[in-house]
């Protein structure tokens, strides 16, 4: 409980004691009795009155503070002192409960915010200085002791340890790191002492980008939140006008006195307070975003969380999303060269590429590359690479590249990714590389079906045979193979036409090569965002690990959030309308009105907090 909440609780207790004291004493001196009521009222409600006055000066007249102030002061004027105090007292009890609920919900996100480092131990002039992470430069060497947060992204230059990545990924498994491994800010060094060379300034580091993402998430409101904001904007002035008419017109048209109808109008004002809707709906979304962050899924706004509940089509990239993206050379078919020479020329041509296929070829070659022997490297998107290696023109790529340069090549029937090589315009052979379907991909497809996703589609630039094999094993609805980046965009545009008016298309990819498709889809999901700047920047939702099933869990959280939001809206409006009608005909007292208002708010808030109990499958 925060200090502010503790102070409010103390005020509520003192006010309640004075209220009970006034009832127990039942003094003959009405003035002293009423003074006790007034003191009790001011102790518990002074902040509400001040807020109402402050908001009036700012042009925000019709809010819950104004309604409570008018209702309670009005009750004093007609002599209902005990009810005036009770209304404010129970309203503040509701506010305290609301603050507690918001605080509890906020903790689920604040756990992620704890990844912000407080300091960095930097080597300067052969001494260690403890400085602000913002003041650390690229190239500086920092020391990270066991138990400390890694303050900036970098490369390990000395030491080995295990890192706790729970705050970033939602995974409890420790990650082993040693010399030359990349480490990311926000992780916690679990065991050994590490010396790390900084590769990014703090403002560009992983931790900084994630914190910005989380802090800005609440600025993107859902349709439900916008509806409630507009509803409250028009609803409150209308009920105030109705209350005024209720207090004035009936006594003028009938023989009843003004006090009776003013009392009914004040009860009407109390129960009309839209707190249950104004608080519980944003709280539900905030809780949903918090629950998602706990499992390592960062949602950039409640609008995306709301849209996720209506997912009809999930479109997946293949490599790195459904498959591990760890390629291994399985076979080398050399023509006119030895297998070693073919691997050499191919590795040299792929020297500047960090694509998984290129890395697997260089790993299979296993020797140092003399970069001076490589000149005029040119990449042809969706086709391959052309390079000058030892004065020879080397073409490395797919069938399209061979056909474009009129190479008389032998088409391979092997299953896997096939890389064709031509040297000086002559076919030199092929290299077969295969990838493995992730175990988690099977789970993801199963969970998508369970969450009523109607269609699961795979897009890939890989060969037809490989794509068909992956699609068949995962039991996908459809796949499109041998696509260039622009072809993927066209396919997504086509698939967008297949969903219903309210349905959403979600694309999940790596956030780097698929940026145009991420932007085009209703919801772009970047997977493996841990350490990927482009993923964090490009997508609407970022999965911090390489597990596609996390998206299925996020859909589950989204659906639960929307269910709770709808329950709260229906429940609150139904009860409000019922009690408003009863108040207008005098069938309820102001006591009943305040219990109805606070009760509805408390129940709606408790219901909103249920979202935090949604567990990852």
Active site residues: 317
CA angle 165, 167, 564 (to 5 degrees): 140
CA distances to 136, 181, 479 from 200, rounded to whole Å, are: 9, 15, 39
* CA-closest candidate to residue 275, choices 47, 38, 108, 90: 90
* CA-closest candidate to residue 296, choices 560, 526, 565, 538: 526
User: Is the four-CA dihedral 62, 241, 565, 315 of positive or negative sign?
Assistant: negative
Q: Are 140 and 324 a contacting pair, CB within 8 Å? A: no
The DSSP letter of residue 372 is G
How far does CA 91 lie from the centroid of its chain? Answer: 32
What is the rounded distance in angstroms from the CA atom of residue 539 to the CA atom of residue 270? 44
Strand partners for 374 = 389
DSSP string, 239-288: HHHHHHHHHHHHHHHSS--HHHHHHHHHHHHHHH--HHHHHHHHHHHHHH
3-state helix, strand, coil in the chain (%, to 5): 55, 20, 30
Give 249's contacts (C-beta < 8 A, 6+ positions apart).
none
* CA-derived radius of gyration, the chain: 33
**Where would I find the H helices in 451-484?**
464-474
Strand pairing report for 541-543 and 523-527: parallel
* CA-closest candidate to residue 546, choices 287, 160, 168, 151: 168
Q: Are 470 and 458 a contacting pair, CB within 8 Å? A: yes
* CA-closest candidate to residue 185, choices 159, 212, 219: 212
Q: Are 410 and 426 a contacting pair, CB within 8 Å? A: no
What is the rounded distance in angstroms from the CA atom of residue 223 to the CA atom of residue 309? 13
**Where would I find the H helices in 145-257?**
166-169, 206-216, 223-253
CA distances to 69, 92, 98, 616 from 53, rounded to whole Å, are: 9, 17, 22, 46
CA distances to 1, 276, 491, 512, 528 from 100, rounded to whole Å, are: 7, 15, 48, 41, 34
What is the rounded distance in angstroms from the CA atom of residue 291 to the CA atom of residue 614? 7
């Amino acid at each position: 409980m925060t200090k502010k909440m503790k102070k409010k609780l103390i005020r509520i207790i003192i006010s309640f004691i004075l209220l009970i004291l006034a009832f127990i004493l039942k003094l003959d001196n009405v003035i002293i009795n009423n003074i006790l009521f007034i003191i009790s009222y001011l102790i518990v409600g002074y902040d509400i009155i001040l807020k109402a006055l402050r908001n009036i000066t700012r042009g925000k007249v019709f809010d819950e503070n104004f309604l409570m102030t008018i209702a309670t002061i009005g009750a004093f004027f007609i002599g209902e002192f005990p009810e005036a105090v009770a209304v404010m007292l129970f309203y503040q009890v509701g506010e305290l409960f609301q603050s507690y609920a918001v605080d509890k919900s906020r903790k689920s996100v604040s756990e992620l915010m704890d990844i912000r480092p407080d300091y960095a131990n930097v080597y300067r002039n052969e001494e260690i200085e403890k400085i602000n992470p913002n003041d650390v430069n690229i190239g500086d060497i920092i020391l990270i002791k066991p138990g400390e947060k890694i303050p900036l992204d970098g490369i390990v230059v000395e030491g080995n340890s295990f890192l706790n990545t729970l705050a970033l990924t939602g995974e409890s498994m420790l990650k082993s790191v040693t010399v030359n491994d990349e480490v990311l800010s926000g992780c916690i060094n679990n065991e050994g002492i590490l010396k790390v060379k900084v590769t990014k300034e703090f403002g560009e580091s992983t931790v900084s980008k994630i914190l910005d993402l989380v802090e800005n998430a609440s600025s993107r409101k859902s349709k439900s939140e916008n509806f409630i904001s507009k509803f409250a904007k028009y609803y409150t002035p209308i009920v105030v006008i109705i209350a005024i008419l209720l207090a004035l017109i009936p006594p003028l048209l009938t023989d009843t006195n003004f006090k009776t109808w003013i009392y009914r109008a004040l009860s009407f004002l109390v129960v009309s307070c839209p707190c249950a809707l104004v608080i519980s709906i944003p709280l539900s979304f905030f809780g949903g975003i918090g629950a998602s962050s706990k499992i390592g899924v960062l949602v950039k706004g409640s609008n995306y969380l709301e849209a996720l509940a209506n997912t009809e089509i999930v479109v997946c990239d293949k490599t790195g999303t459904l498959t591990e993206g760890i390629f291994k050379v399985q076979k080398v078919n050399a023509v006119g060269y030895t297998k070693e020479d073919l691997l050499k020329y191919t590795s040299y041509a792929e020297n500047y590429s960090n694509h998984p296929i290129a890395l697997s070829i260089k790993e299979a070659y296993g020797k140092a590359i003399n970069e001076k022997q490589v000149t005029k490297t040119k990449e042809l998107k969706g086709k391959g690479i052309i390079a000058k290696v030892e004065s020879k023109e080397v073409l490395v790529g797919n069938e399209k590249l061979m056909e474009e340069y009129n190479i008389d090549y032998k088409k391979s029937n092997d299953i896997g990714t096939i890389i064709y090589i031509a040297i000086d315009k002559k076919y030199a052979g092929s290299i077969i590389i295969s990838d493995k379907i992730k175990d988690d991909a099977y789970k993801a497809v199963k969970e998508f079906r369970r969450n009523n996703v109607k269609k699961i589609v795979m897009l890939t630039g890989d060969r037809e045979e490989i794509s068909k094999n992956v699609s068949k094993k995962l039991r996908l609805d459809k796949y499109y193979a041998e696509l260039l980046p622009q072809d993927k965009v066209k396919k997504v545009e086509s698939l967008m036409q297949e969903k219903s008016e309210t349905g959403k298309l979600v694309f999940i990819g790596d956030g780097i090569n698929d940026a145009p498709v991420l932007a085009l889809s209703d919801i772009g999901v970047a997977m493996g965002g841990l350490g990927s700047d482009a993923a964090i920047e490009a997508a609407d939702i970022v999965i911090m690990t390489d597990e596609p099933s996390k998206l299925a869990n996020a859909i589950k959280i989204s659906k639960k959030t929307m269910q709770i939001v709808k329950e709260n809206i229906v429940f609150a409006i139904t009860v409000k309308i019922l009690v408003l009608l009863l108040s207008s005909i005098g069938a309820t007292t102001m006591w009943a009105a305040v219990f109805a208002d606070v009760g509805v708010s408390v129940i709606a808030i408790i219901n909103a907090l249920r979202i935090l109990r949604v567990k990852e499958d």
